[in-house]
Amino acid sequence: MIPSDLKYTKEHEWVKIEGNIAIVGITHFAQDQLGDIVYVDISHNQTVKKDDVFGTIEAVKTVSDLFMPLSGTIFEINPFLDKNPELVNTDPYGDGWMVMIEIDDPTEIDKLLTPEEYDNLIN
């Protein structure tokens, strides 16, 4: 099930746009491919550019980079992931979100994948 109110990247991040704010996480597909998430490490670098690595996600068998889908300023990191990284597995589109950013360039939103385009990418 791919939520229809989100945008997506080819690197399997999702983005929820709320005005000039974007909430970013990884998709159900991505967490399923990674397996059991044991650690999430997000950079405290406040200013990020589109496609920058903003952290890593560690599963039992692998470590994967997290790519920023939009340029902006990180103003909040999900505080629950330090003690409960498994939230990414159990609720990737809800409590398992990664960061909130203030968007610098709203035109970048148009370059993100629609739910239909993302569905075609993974199926």
The reported pTM is 0.96
The residue range of the domain holding 80 is 13-105
Q: For residue 44, tell me if it sits in a domain.
A: yes
Q: Would residue 8 count as lying in a domain?
A: no
Total number of domains in the chain: 1
Q: Report d(CA 102, CA 100) in Å as an integer.
A: 7
Cα 84 to Cα 87: distance, rounded to the nearest angstrom: 6
Domain membership of residue 113 (yes or no) is no
**75: in domain:** yes
- Please state, in angstroms and rounded to a whole number, the distance separating the CA atoms of residues 3 and 115: 7
CA distances from 52 to 36, 55, 59, 68, 69 (A): 24, 9, 21, 5, 8
Q: How far, in whole angstroms, is CA 87 from its chain's centroid?
A: 13
> Does a structural domain hold residue 29?
yes
pLDDT tens, residue by residue, 4-59:
999 999 999 999 999 999 999 999 999 999 999 999 999 887 999 999 999 999 99
Distance, CA of 7 to CA of 98 (rounded, Å) = 15
Question: DSSP secondary structure string, 66-90?
Answer: EE-SS-EEEEEE-GGGTT-TTHHHH
Residue 121 in any domain: the answer is no
Is 123 within a domain?
Answer: no
Instruction: List, for residues 100-118, the tens digit of each pLDDT value.
Output: 999 999 999 999 999 999 9
Domain at 61, CATH number = 2.40.50.100
Cα gap 26→90, rounded to integer Å: 12
Helices (H), the chain: 28-34, 87-90, 115-122
